[in-house]
Amino acid sequence: MNNDKLDALIKRIASEHGIVLTKDDPVLMMHTLNEVLLEQNEKAHVELLNKYEAILQESFNQWQTVASKKANALISAQQNNISKSNESLVDQNMQLISEKIRIAINHEIRELARISRQAAIMNLLAAVLVLVSAILVFVILS
């Protein structure tokens, strides 16, 4: 302890308690010892706090790594789910489109078959008329 602090302490004790101490008084020795112990205690606390901070930082880094891995796994799983959902949706849409095309083609085929049937019937009727005309011409001319 420096002399200025020691003088200030002696004056304070004298003014508050009415007792005058000398610099070699054992009470002042206890005060100095107390200050040394407090300084050592402060250093130990600082060291413990630094160690605790390092442990907290390490724990935080580990937690951050684990959390990042879990978040990435969740994101990956979500992307896979979205991808599967998209594939499923595309498959469903392709099936719907195929069904619509099949229905449209079947409708067109039925329509063409109906028109072809009508044309065949008309050709058959025309052929029958030609045959009847030919028979009439042959009967009339004979």
Measured between alpha carbons, how far is 92 from 98 in angstroms, rounded to an integer? 10
Task: Return the domain boundaries, the chain.
Answer: 3-113
Interval 45-97: pLDDT, tens: 999 999 999 999 999 999 999 999 999 999 998 988 888 888 888 889 999 99
**Using CA of residue 19, residue 24, residue 30, residue 36, what is the dihedral sign?**
positive
CA angle 18, 19, 24 (to 5 degrees): 155
Tokens of 126: 């025309």
> pLDDT value at position 1?
58
Look up residue 8 and give its amino acid.
A
> pLDDT value at position 121?
93
DSSP structural state of residue 23:
T
Measured between alpha carbons, how far is 63 from 67 in angstroms, rounded to an integer? 6
> pLDDT value at position 142?
75
Interval 86-136: pLDDT, tens: 888 888 999 999 999 999 999 999 999 999 999 999 999 999 999 999 998
